Amino acid sequence: MGLLTFKGGVHPPHKKKFSENEAIKILPLPEKVYVYTAHSIGAPAKPIVEVGDKVKTGQKIAEAGGFISANLHSPVTGTVVEFTKLVNAASGLKSDVIVIEREGEDQWELLEKTDDHTKLKPEEIVARVKEAGIVGLGGAMFPSHVKLSIPKGKKAESLIINAAECEPYITIDYRMMLEKTSEVLKGIEIIMHTIGVEKAYVGIEDNKSKAISHMKEAVKNSSIEIVPLKTKYPQGAEKQLINAVTGKEVPSGGLPIDIGAVVFNVSTAYAIYDAIYNGKALVESGISLTGEGVKKPGNFWFRVGTKVSELLDYVGIIEEDKIDRVLYGGPMMGISLPDTELPTFKGNNAITVMTKDVAPNKETMPCIRCSSCVSVCPIGLQPYLMKKLADTRKYDDLTNNNLMDCIECGACSYTCPSGIDLTKSFKTAKKVVRAMKQRRG
């Protein structure tokens, strides 16, 4: 029997050699942090501090602005010095930011903690995860307390831990499995207890053989199973991971819980452990600083809100005229930064510096209807047809062709021999469709 996987996908170069053997190092504390109030999918948080307020590390500085939202906490001990606006690279628009100037070393304000999570009721754990402001650290930044709250009428049957880390270059989850094994496993046990499942699966791509063998040894005699997966992008996409591990498909427009699945990634499991057992709010996390443009790539523990330029200063970058782009994340789904003076988010798992020689600009040619994009689409869409509909602004037809199911993985753009950036068109079209729905009510 071959390795488990999904239909479609591509095989970009792994590029993990830059940082996979680099143990996680703790970065120096930043002098200032810049905390976006919009730090998760959903409503921005509402500040509860004012300029001049003294704050401790881990102290709450903004309340969740709705059910789909997350609390914010100070990443350093210091003084709130400014409220300003900075560009959010994901939207291209300016967002509200709380600026805190550090004063000395950390003085932590901890949340309530426990020495045994099984003493807590599921709703108590959900409340503590919500208070800690934990969001998904695989990139999407969906509030974790929402995912832990199983809707009425639904039942969680299996927990799947996303350890695929299929994006090229990124290695932080790989290092977390090797270096924070017991903490990650304890986080998984907490999630299992909270959502009421008896079994958990950890899906790891087979290009991480050391992590597979290490984790298999660690979970002996437990109800956690390590599932080796075929190395293929986007193996770590939620729906593709569920399909590979369980054989089930999330229906169009549906959610994983519709088929009894709940998915968290490795670093999020660690963050949940840290909140429940150590009382720490989510103000720090792991990140890979990597790419051909980085002099000393590696994996690091960073404070949320640190400027990207400050992180890159620590590892060094090559001559500016050789750099093509700097990305939040990896080259397939990452967001190109307009300015490295922008700060990091909770969900930043990598900063990748691409050079011009490895990321040459493709000359764009007309579509030749080769169907390469169709064969690699992990959702089974027809990207070439959707691109034509997007170009002619036939948004209703585009919606009928399941535009909103597109996961924006970039596989179609990667494989297109004509160099057409199909994914960019779909991202824009989805924004238009959402705006049209709002206008129509």
Residue-level length of the chain: 441
Q: What is the mean pLDDT of residues 161-183?
A: 97
Full residue range of the structural domain in which residue 416 is found? 372-440
pLDDT reported for residue 4: 86
Q: What is the mean pLDDT of residues 185-209?
A: 97
The annotation status of 406 as a binding-site residue, yes or no, is yes
In a domain, 308, yes or no: no
Give residue-wise pLDDT tens across range 62-118: 999 998 999 999 999 999 999 999 998 877 889 999 999 999 999 999 999 999 999
| Residue 439 pLDDT class (50, 70, 90 cuts) | confident
Instruction: Quote the CA–CA distance of 37 and 185 in Å, as a whole number.
Output: 31
- List Cβ neighbours of 253 (8 Å cut-off, separation of 6 or more): 404, 405
Last-in-domain residue among 224, 250, 268: 268
In a domain, 197, yes or no: yes
Instruction: Quote the CA–CA distance of 42 and 143 in Å, as a whole number.
Output: 8
pLDDT reported for residue 360: 65
Q: What are phi and psi of 249, to 5 degrees?
A: -115, 130
In a domain, 240, yes or no: yes
Q: Residue 39: pLDDT above 80?
A: no
Query: CA distances (Å), 162 to each of 8, 136, 246, 311, 389, in order?
Result: 19, 11, 13, 26, 34
pLDDT reported for residue 125: 98
CB distance 366 to 400 below 8 Å: no
In a domain, 323, yes or no: no
The annotation status of 166 as a binding-site residue, yes or no, is no
Residue type, 281: A
The annotation status of 412 as a binding-site residue, yes or no, is yes
In a domain, 82, yes or no: no
**Domain count of the fold of the chain:** 2
Give residue-wise pLDDT tens across range 339-358: 999 999 999 999 999 999 98
pLDDT reported for residue 147: 95
Strand partners, 79: 54, 101
Q: Residue 361: pLDDT above 80?
A: no
Q: Residue 364: pLDDT above 60?
A: yes
Last-in-domain residue among 217, 249, 268: 268
| Residue 332 pLDDT class (50, 70, 90 cuts) | very high
Q: What is the DSSP string of 234-284?
A: TTTSHHHHHHHHHS--PPTT--GGGGTEEEEEHHHHHHHHHHHHH---S-E
The annotation status of 416 as a binding-site residue, yes or no, is yes
CB distance 302 to 344 below 8 Å: yes
In a domain, 2, yes or no: no
In a domain, 194, yes or no: yes
**Cβ neighbour number for residue 225 with a 10 Å cutoff:** 15
Task: Provide the token pair at 193.
Answer: 């207890």
pTM for this structure?
0.94
384: helix, strand or coil: helix
Q: Residue 275: pLDDT above 70?
A: yes
In a domain, 176, yes or no: yes
- CATH number, residue 157: 3.40.50.11540
Q: Residue 331: pLDDT above 80?
A: yes
Task: Provide the token pair at 312.
Answer: 């890159």
Last-in-domain residue among 208, 241, 268: 268
